[in-house]
Structure 1
């Protein structure tokens, strides 16, 4: 329950901040009349995420066992890619997302025709990205944690993120967003490592991965995966009571690489731009 709650709290807060930036900028620039277009974009994005999630869930219910294992492995791998890219993208874009959104709003509303559609599209794609990320993550988590706890945790995270987003927009709550996204980013990468190891096991059970299957340790008698503590550790860290060599290797390798990329200092945008300009000048001079 805690894992989907924290993930959806982060995803929901990202979406809420995007909507808050758009709504606040429209209000400050005297263009609040365009807010219905914002709500239409949000509605369409949520509808798309629900449609995709329901479609994948219904389709997977009809699969035979081997195909079901392959589907769960594919969903887990997609979730790992999506979560990793989201965390690394937010690390780079956090400082400039407000200015880029405001510039996109100005561009969307500057034309004489189709301004409403342009604004709907802007909000739709911004929110749909968060929604589709959430769909693949939740599918992977729900497959590993059947029952009502995971969906309830996800709903709780969405509800709290909506309240926090509104409170931030109204100015009643101030969060250290840099610290929030940093710690939740680390947590998400740990969860993604567990999903990656679990996907490798699903590939083995589907008959597609049969190497590095030696059991590293067997804690089934001491700390079983289906016990109370084991269930919590499995949900938080991808704990397995009998990990295979390949599963442990991909867990450690992924976590080492992902945390290194995530925790390294972010170069100031001006320095990156200057480096790119210098590289372009040098390339032109050598021609």
Structure 2
């Protein structure tokens, strides 16, 4: 059973990642899928505990250097960008396991309760503020979804490496935003449709350069800090439009090279 102090708190294993400019994929946003190769004993222990739980949940977060002097203290400001994740699939390997996870919603770590052999803590949900007008959100959600469909249709025309996935990351995230979440915990941990769609655009496009991945990382950080769905949808729309322009340019070059 998942230990709860209140219905708005969950005690869960915590998986930390460092934030740097070398690895652009450390920040996980709601709706994003990611595959982790876990092989250290402590992280395999975290995996086993998560799998034993009814909902197969843990928390993915970014950790700037932090010292835990007292396991009952509240989390330091350096524990950032927490995202509740669901384990979608586990592939056992000779060394460790490949673990497919899905970002569900943002969380804040309010207390560390265990440091060894892996981190555990108490988290609370983080959601956007209630909008002044829900009716204004719907058209913006539709605009972002239409832009994402356009980007996806362009991206699948790009020549991709043989090992590339058949489905784009954006299409995968967008499909997930429209699903009902079959998890048994407080609804406050699940973002609204508008919030989920606003994050769905923050996925790498096939053939992204290092500078494009760095820009994506910056957009993810900005999106995780925002508490305004309308503003994030606005930002997402501009980000998708920029990606459409870049992919269209790459397709034009690809067309010339194939002649």
TM-score, structure 1 as length reference:
0.26
| Structure with higher helix content | 1
- Structure scoring higher RCO (CA < 8 A, sep ≥ 6) equals 1
Larger radius of gyration: 1
